[in-house]
Amino acid sequence: MSAPLSPNLKGALFMTLSMASFTLNDVCVKLVAETVPLFQIVFLRGLATTIMLALTVQVTTGLRFTMPRRDRPLVAWRTVAEVASMVAFLLALTNMAIANATAILAALPLSVTLGAALFFRAPVGWRRLTAICIGFVGVLLIVQPGTEGFNRWSLLALLAVLIITGRDLVTRAFSPEVPSMTVAVLTAAAVCTFGGIASVFTPWEALGFYEAALILAASVLIIGGYVFSIMVMRVGDVSVVSPFRYTSLVFALILGLIVFGEFPNTLALVGAAIVVATGVFTLLRERLVARAAARAAARAIPHPQAPPHG
């Protein structure tokens, strides 16, 4: 009889499954976008996602739309950022190699760490600042400004990173009373609504079985990615399993080659390796700093004196 998986191993597995789900969703969207207008896809995928996600939440934990008054503007801003980043990334994804778009998105941990330092005064030492700077050099190698491979779609992928960074920083300001799954349902509904409005301005295409199956698969995969990412937070040490988010780049490289016949050039591969290496270093360094702070806090707590022996 095999031994049960450790919490950290489970967390690593869930993170890998989450990244696989999100990357496969990207593949489905990129495939169907070859014949169907993008915003029609966004609307149909959003509609299916909203219905399935709302039903899942209602059956499991129950939908709760009550939240503190101070959090409502934050949730609204997060929703706007989610829609904007989705549009920017999907436009980039459908017009550039999936591995390149995913590699640019891999800079998120670096940009979030820098954003937390700038806006929340989170302590960031010289080691992590150096890693962030080197990581952004890696992004430039992927984007390759001034070369034939550089285009407006690369800029849109970078814009998506900036917007998602803002979204994540706003999310950090949520109070614990905000129900995460409700935010997910509201976001899916907002994406669906935006897609529906935007799709009015382009002629719709009739869906065959192939296109409908891809859109439905994308909807299921998005929910799977989100659910697995939540499961990550409930098992193991998040700082240990977080580096496994970079498996998304491995999936993107493999699927990009197999499905689309795309493969990044040498400079982009070097840039992706730099982004991953500096991102992993930043995550591990944050873990070490957090542990050191916890030990220092424990030492600072005065211990009660032992009663005198009588």
Contacts of 306 (CB under 8 A, 6+ apart): none
Residue 305 lies in a domain: no
Query: What pTM was estimated for this model as a whole?
Result: 0.84
pLDDT 10s digits, 22-60: 999 999 999 999 999 999 999 999 999 999 999 988 888
- Which range (150-154, 160-164, 231-235, 305-309) has the least confidence? 305-309
Does position 15 have pLDDT exceeding 90, yes or no? Answer: no
Q: So what's the pLDDT on residue 128? A: 85
pLDDT 10s digits, 50-100: 999 999 888 887 888 888 899 999 999 999 999 999 999 999 999 999 999
Residue 265 lies in a domain: yes
Confidence of residue 258 (pLDDT cuts 50, 70, 90): very high
Residue 123 lies in a domain: yes
pLDDT 10s digits, 166-221: 988 888 888 888 888 888 899 999 999 999 999 999 999 999 999 999 999 999 99
Contact 33, 87 (CB under 8 A): no
pLDDT 10s digits, 116-130: 888 877 777 888 889
Written as one string, the DSSP assignment of 218-264 is HHHHHHHHHHHHHHHTTSS-HHHHGGGGGHHHHHHHHHHHHHH----
Residue 36 lies in a domain: yes
Angle between helices 180-199 and 71-93 (to 10 degrees): 50
Radius of gyration of the chain (CA): 21
Residue 1 lies in a domain: no
pLDDT 10s digits, 261-281: 998 889 899 999 999 998 888
Q: So what's the pLDDT on residue 310? A: 45
Rounded CA separation 50/184 (Å): 9
Angle at 21 between CA 15 and CA 22, to 5 degrees: 95
Structural domain boundaries, residue 288: 7-296
Number of structural domains found in the chain:
1
Residue 165 lies in a domain: yes
Residue 302 lies in a domain: no
Residue 237 lies in a domain: yes
- From residue 211, alpha-carbon distances to 31, 55, 199 in Å are 9, 24, 16
The separation between CA 94 and the C-alpha centre of its own chain, rounded to angstroms, equals 18
Contact 116, 172 (CB under 8 A): yes
DSSP category for residue 161: H
Percent pLDDT > 70 in the chain is 92
DSSP category for residue 62: -
